[in-house]
Amino acid sequence: MKVLVADKFEKSGIDGLTAAGCDVVYEPDLKDDALAQAIASSGADVLVVRGTKVTAPMLDAGRLSLIVRAGAGYNTIDVAGASTRGIYVSNCPGKNAIAVAELAFGLILSLDRRIPDNVRELRAGSWNKKEYSRAQGLYGRTLGLLGVGSIGREMIRRAGGFGMNVVLWSRRFDGERRPVTEVEARELGIESVLRSISIELAPTPADVAARADVLSVHVALGAETRGLVNAALLARLKPGAIVINTARGEVVDYAALAAAVKERNLRVGLDVYANEPGSATAPFHDDLVTLPGVYGTHHIGASTDQAQEAIAAETVRVVRSYKETGHVPNVVNLARRTPATHMLVVRHRDRPGVLAHVFSHLRQANLNVQETENIVFEGAQAAVARINLDGEPNASLCETIKSGNADVLDLQLVRL
């Protein structure tokens, strides 16, 4: 199996792919037309990327069957285009959660203690202890979280260490206002934190904002979350509150956020922007990050050695599984539910031609097989096939299938 790695990737990952028997082509600077050409010329089966955009022309350029996003978010990949072409798209969820949570808390601490401003004045030769002694501190304050995925859970664990109470909203708990139960805390892996701080659900994102001293955003970018943090939500925050965004720039209305910084003295920490450059080094300007009380970093949330090693190991696991079993872990573009309306259950002898007989008659009846599973009984003498169809086979067709091959033992039709 040939793997084209078209982004910066850890040596341990390259070594792991090679050890798995893959032919690895490492070209970390490929982009746009050059990447499409490399996909075509290399004959790669698998493409591994980080932030590089994967477009329709690239999908058509060669023989790709799997794209692995060496990270969590996959909005830079044409997932819909991959789906129409039967190309798997997989990612590495949760492997950078600790790194992102660490950066988010670094921004929170920096804003509360104004650490960058301290450093800048001290380097300039100015001693201003009176000014920089003013800080509220984090203990006993409320951290508001939008999203409680892997990063949100790591934020809760760290909030416990700082003695911050937590109020959160997620689509999983949408509309609920109550404390998190012990069972839910156990499912989320935060049960130990629940013993030391208060963790409560809020029914809406705006309710989280109204209660938060620090609002931190950890939702994936999608149609429902684009512009989630808007002017109306920001208006619910307390004057002087802290806003952190390490998710995606498009989740926050940055124009509204800039206005809130000026009018309500909000303090802001950002690691993501809607207008990020496409390369690792490039000119960049955003009026928001020039405002007093706004600190920005260069979309580095996942960029720790620990996180990158974990992501590399997960990428190797995904590719190795695909190569050795045909199964792709962490697939993001498989249908949750197919259009199938009926299941044909065929119990049969485990002999050549039985399923070909069944499929041939289904094709003649213009019935499409959406999904199929064939399970062999111990001894390999008999099997049962479960065949999901996009329509209902009539009684005559079922009888033809059953009586037309002596190795068909029984047939059952189930409405889905």
Q: Are 134 and 203 in contact (CB under 8 A)?
A: no
One domain for residues 207 and 352: no
One domain for residues 207 and 161: yes
Residue 187: how many other CB atoms lie within 10 Å: 11
Establish if 335 belongs to a structural domain: no
Establish if 333 belongs to a structural domain: no
Strand 242-245 vs strand 342-349: parallel, antiparallel, or unpaired? unpaired
Tens place of pLDDT for every residue, the chain, 416 residues?
999 999 999 999 999 999 999 999 999 999 999 999 999 999 999 999 998 999 999 999 999 999 999 998 898 999 999 999 999 999 999 999 999 999 999 999 999 999 999 999 999 999 999 999 999 999 999 999 999 999 999 999 999 999 999 999 999 999 999 999 999 999 999 999 998 999 999 999 999 999 999 999 999 988 899 999 999 999 999 999 999 999 999 999 999 999 999 999 999 999 999 888 877 889 999 999 999 999 999 999 989 999 999 999 999 999 999 999 999 999 999 988 788 999 999 999 999 999 999 999 999 999 999 999 999 999 999 999 999 999 999 999 999 999 999 999 999 999 99
Q: Rounded to 5 degrees, what are φ and ψ at 309?
A: -65, -40
Q: Rounded to 5 degrees, what are φ and ψ at 346?
A: -115, 115
Task: Give the per-residue pLDDT at 106.
Answer: 98
CA atoms within 13 A on the CB side of 159: 29
Active site residues: 248, 276, 299
Which tens digits make up the pLDDT trace of 382-392? 999 999 999 99
Say which residues have a Cβ less than 8 Å from residue 267's Cβ, sequence separation at least 6. 111, 240, 241, 242, 243, 261, 293, 294
- Work out the end-to-end distance of the chain between its first and last CA atoms, rounded to an integer number of angstroms: 38
| Residue 80, phi-psi category: left (phi > 0), alpha (psi -120 to 50), beta (remainder) | alpha
Task: Give the per-residue pLDDT at 75.
Answer: 86
Q: Are 91 and 332 in contact (CB under 8 A)?
A: yes
One domain for residues 83 and 195: no
One domain for residues 90 and 102: no
Establish if 330 belongs to a structural domain: no
> What is the CATH classification number for the domain harbouring 263?
3.40.50.720
Establish if 337 belongs to a structural domain: no
One domain for residues 216 and 268: yes
Query: What predicted TM-score, i.e. pTM, was given to this entire model?
Result: 0.81
Establish if 334 belongs to a structural domain: no
Q: Are 328 and 88 in contact (CB under 8 A)?
A: yes
One domain for residues 321 and 253: no
Establish if 21 belongs to a structural domain: yes
Establish if 224 belongs to a structural domain: yes
One domain for residues 15 and 89: yes
As given in the structure block, the two tokens for residue 388 are 């999901």
Q: Compute the CA torsion angle 161, 164, 169, 170 (nearest 10 deg).
A: -10
One domain for residues 123 and 30: no
Task: Give the per-residue pLDDT at 222.
Answer: 87
Q: Are 59 and 78 in contact (CB under 8 A)?
A: yes
Task: Give the per-residue pLDDT at 70.
Answer: 95
One domain for residues 297 and 319: no
One domain for residues 215 and 251: yes
One domain for residues 257 and 168: yes
Q: Rounded to 5 degrees, what are φ and ψ at 77?
A: -110, 135
Task: Give the per-residue pLDDT at 379.
Answer: 94
> What is the CATH classification number for the domain harbouring 401?
3.30.70.260
Residue 206: domain span: 97-301
Task: Give the per-residue pLDDT at 73.
Answer: 83
Task: Give the per-residue pLDDT at 72.
Answer: 87
Establish if 389 belongs to a structural domain: yes
- How many domains are there within the chain? 3
